[in-house]
Structure 1
Amino acid sequence: MNTPRLSLLLAALAIAQVDAAHGQGASLPLGQTSFAAYREQTRQWLQQAREFQSPDHAAELDWNAPQEWRPEQPPSRGILLVHGLGDSPWSFSDLGPSLARQGFLVRTLLLPGHGSKPADLLDTRIEQWRQLLREQAAVLAREVPNVYLGGFSTGANLVLDYAYEHPEVDGLLLFSPAFKSDTAYDWLPSMIAWAKPWLRAPGPGRPSQTPVRYLNVPTNAFAQFYRSSVAVQARLNTGSYDKPVLVVAAQHDSVLDTAHIRDTFTRRFTHPASRLVWYGSPVPDMPQTPRVLTRSDALPEQRISQFSHMGVLFSPGNPLYGANGAQRICWNGQDDQGMAACQAGETVWYSDWGYREAGKFHARLTYNPYFEWQNGVMFEVLNAAAPALPLTPKAGGENQATALQ
């Protein structure tokens, strides 16, 4: 049997294993017909289901609950943003206000199984994630004439899969899109989830989550990611996607096959205004085109060795993940000495997971030094789909976005 056919067979068997082993598990409520009802019911569910990580429960609820930012003027454009596996709506805490200041009605979703505790992903299914996206995209479309979608990692898979089937979507933002992982065994969790619920079992002294994300997820969660990857690759194989798309990728992403992302952008995202923002070294075999924008991810003056999977979304000024943020991620594939030095507050460098260099200790890079420049590229892509209506600044200052919390 040839390799492509064998891969398809393994994928089908893997998905069947998960389907047989898991039913619709207890999760946050679905089926709301307004964003306000969805957000309120989700906050109520989080209040009961979340394992809080700090005394400040109100802040953790705000960080993990669905969020909305409204522009000053009545919007004609709206965007729905979908986080990645193990993450939360906090992923878009910097991007959301930036989009609202440009006139977008911005909303974030909390995928079922997230925001509460990792064990809630034991029985979560991709169908629940798809249902939530389908419901809230329809809600947004009733409120604004132009609808965009954005996603990070697994969330990028979900929105691209949806957009292929819904031509009314005007454009996409895909951050670290998880079209294909960097491992040849990404199908394996789907085969073993029924027998091995956790690849790394939770235990004392092994933190499973932070105030804004999970650090460990069940095997079933990886299986559902794999299903999203299989689905989006099937969509991409049907042909090009011709709406404007922004793709942002870090060359040294420790999670994804970034060469596959580059190739997918070149072959499938054909609109002249589509852009690939590539953080790394210029790629010799990639055609020289203004559609690909390269920035170095080695910034020694900022103690940055390489960019990471998660860092592309956050501003250097982010209170948790920024250059002086409160959440330093020391668990980054270093040895015990490096881990201890990082936790003790010593000076560290920053990188993707697992990068090592003699004489340096590396924490995770959780912010993007090019964040404002990247926003400028993003707005050019979005405006190519449906230009913004002119905003009328209020006297005495710049337009301000209103966050509904």
Structure 2
Amino acid sequence: MIKFPTSDLPFSEYIHHCRTLIAERRTDLQRFHVHEKFIIDVNSPYELIPDKPTYSDGKLKYGALLLHGLFDCPFSLKDLGECLKSNGILSHAILLPGHGTRPEDLLKISYHEWIEALHYGIKTLQQRVEKIYLVGYSTGATLSVYQALQDKQIAGIILLAPALKIKAPIDILLNWRHLIKWIRNKKQWVCYEDEIDYARYQSIAFNPVIQLTMLMRVIKELARQQTITCPVFIATSREDETISSEEALRFFSQLSHHNNQLLLYSSRNYLHSDPRIVTRPTLNQQSHIKHFSHVSIPFAPHNVHYGKQGDYFYSRHQYTQEYTFGAYNRLEIQLFDILYNLGIVREKRRELTYNPDFDFMANKIVDFIVKN
């Protein structure tokens, strides 16, 4: 496990250490049809250096620290990172401790270790750029909010499907300390699944979910005393099956910066009095897409793994008449499979794995960075 802070470890050496750790810890490198090196590449931190950067006082003007989500890896923000690179913005993607290796590595992790990784990422990027933007997906967005509440040097934060409140009732369970202690000692897993995805854990442990919820509580306490002064960009799905989009809207409504923006994906046409909120429709009958899922937001349609023609198992049937794609959780998918087999419904349900509106979102994010 990479320990933080790593003193003055150069970012290139940090990448090397993480790659070595991933190669040592993973036991599935020969399981998939892709090359071992590709799996290590996907799960490792990376640096994307622009060919035509903008300079200011001897430094690159813009830098983005990419923070992935829970059970994910840096690959989840690679598509956006490439877009930033082509627009003159340097990107550093870090690996949150416990990720990219095996699900068991999250059993004893603490959210404090994620914060230490965040601070290391900021420190190394500050050496290269004038303005730092935090780009967080899901739990990465939670960490971005945490930092922005305390660090006035952050130029702005971009939050994709921000995990500000989980739909599952974990927060209620946290009030029952004896139950939580029993869960940690006796019941380590919410579910333990076959690891069929080389870029995201399928097995869900209780501990990281509890750690995330504890971090959310810390943020609520900080927000009572401090405010975010930098501009904020949010992109989220109204029908998100994992996190509360209502909480994201509530959070946004409390922010006052005139350059704040919220991109709301929805299967319904919501009208908002706030001109900073833009609603984008998700219903696409031709592609059998009803709404956007939590995991779909950061991935482009051309993504090699989760895109239209991606190699991930559940990305292979995008245009068959058998499926409707959207924001469906595992229980909903299993239920509709049963109903389909009984002839009660005409289509099965599957989680949408990419964002059909990715280019629009990415261009909005680039404008948000370079115009602030």
Asked if 1:272 corresponds to 2:258, the answer is yes
TM-score, normalised relative to structure 2? 0.86
Q: 2:22 pairs with 46, 62, 69, which one?
A: 46
Q: State the 1:232 CA deviation.
A: 2.1
Q: Which amino acid aligns with 1:63?
A: V
Aligned residue in 1 for 2:57: none
Q: How much is the aligned-residue C-alpha RMSD, in angstroms?
A: 2.2
Aligned counterparts of 1:80 and 1:246: Cα–Cα separation in 2: 15
Equivalent residues in 2 for 1:367-386, closer than 5 Å: 367-385=354-372
Q: Which amino acid aligns with 2:66?
A: L
Aligned counterparts of 2:187 and 2:314: Cα–Cα separation in 1: 25
Q: 2:61 pairs with 76, 94, 111, which one?
A: 76
Aligned counterparts of 1:82 and 1:221: Cα–Cα separation in 2: 16
Deviations 1:164-188 (A, max 9, x none): 1111110011000011112333352
Change (3 A) 1:91 1:40: same
Moved more, 110-119 or 67-76: 67-76
Q: State the 1:88 CA deviation.
A: 0.3
Q: State the 1:44 CA deviation.
A: 0.8
Aligned counterparts of 1:85 and 1:71: Cα–Cα separation in 2: 28
CA contact (8 A) 2:106 2:207 kept: yes
Q: Which amino acid aligns with 2:257?
A: H
Identity among equivalent positions (%) equals 26
Equivalent residues in 2 for 1:305-344, closer than 5 Å: 305-329=290-314
Q: Secondary structure at the match of 2:234?
A: strand
> Where in structure 1 are there 5+ consecutive unaligned residues?
1-26, 331-340, 386-405
CA contact (8 A) 1:240 1:267 kept: no
Aligned counterparts of 1:321 and 1:201: Cα–Cα separation in 2: 22
Q: Secondary structure at the match of 1:277?
A: strand
Moved more, 29-38 or 158-167: 29-38
Q: Which amino acid aligns with 1:37?
A: E
Q: State the 1:131 CA deviation.
A: 0.6
Aligned counterparts of 2:253 and 2:242: Cα–Cα separation in 1: 21
Moved more, 89-98 or 319-328: 319-328
Aligned residue in 2 for 1:351: 326
Deviations 1:197-227 (A, max 9, x none): 423453xxx4135110101122111111111
Change (3 A) 1:197 1:347: same
Q: Secondary structure at the match of 1:377?
A: helix
CA contact (8 A) 2:145 2:219 kept: yes
Q: 1:253 pairs with 236, 240, 264, which one?
A: 240
Asked if 1:147 corresponds to 2:137, the answer is no
Q: State the 1:302 CA deviation.
A: 1.3
Aligned counterparts of 1:199 and 1:46: Cα–Cα separation in 2: 22
Aligned residue in 2 for 1:92: 77
Equivalent residues in 2 for 1:5-404, closer than 5 Å: 27-30=1-4, 31=6, 33=8, 34-52=10-28, 53-54=31-32, 56-74=35-53, 75-188=60-173, 191-192=180-181, 193-202=183-192, 206-208=193-195, 210-268=197-255, 270-280=256-266, 281-283=268-270, 287-329=272-314, 347-354=322-329, 358-385=345-372
Change (3 A) 1:187 1:196: farther
Aligned counterparts of 1:85 and 1:168: Cα–Cα separation in 2: 26
Q: State the 1:309 CA deviation.
A: 0.4
Q: Secondary structure at the match of 1:242?
A: coil
Q: State the 1:342 CA deviation.
A: 7.0
Change (3 A) 1:108 1:58: same
Q: State the 1:231 CA deviation.
A: 1.9
Deviations 1:261-307 (A, max 9, x none): 11110112x211111100012445xx423200101122112110111
CA contact (8 A) 1:63 1:212 kept: yes
Aligned counterparts of 1:179 and 1:209: Cα–Cα separation in 2: 28
CA contact (8 A) 1:273 1:384 kept: no
Aligned counterparts of 1:342 and 1:105: Cα–Cα separation in 2: 35
CA contact (8 A) 2:103 2:204 kept: yes
Change (3 A) 1:64 1:179: same
Aligned counterparts of 2:317 and 2:27: Cα–Cα separation in 1: 26
> Where in structure 2 are there 5+ consecutive unaligned residues?
54-59
Q: Which amino acid aligns with 2:262?
A: L
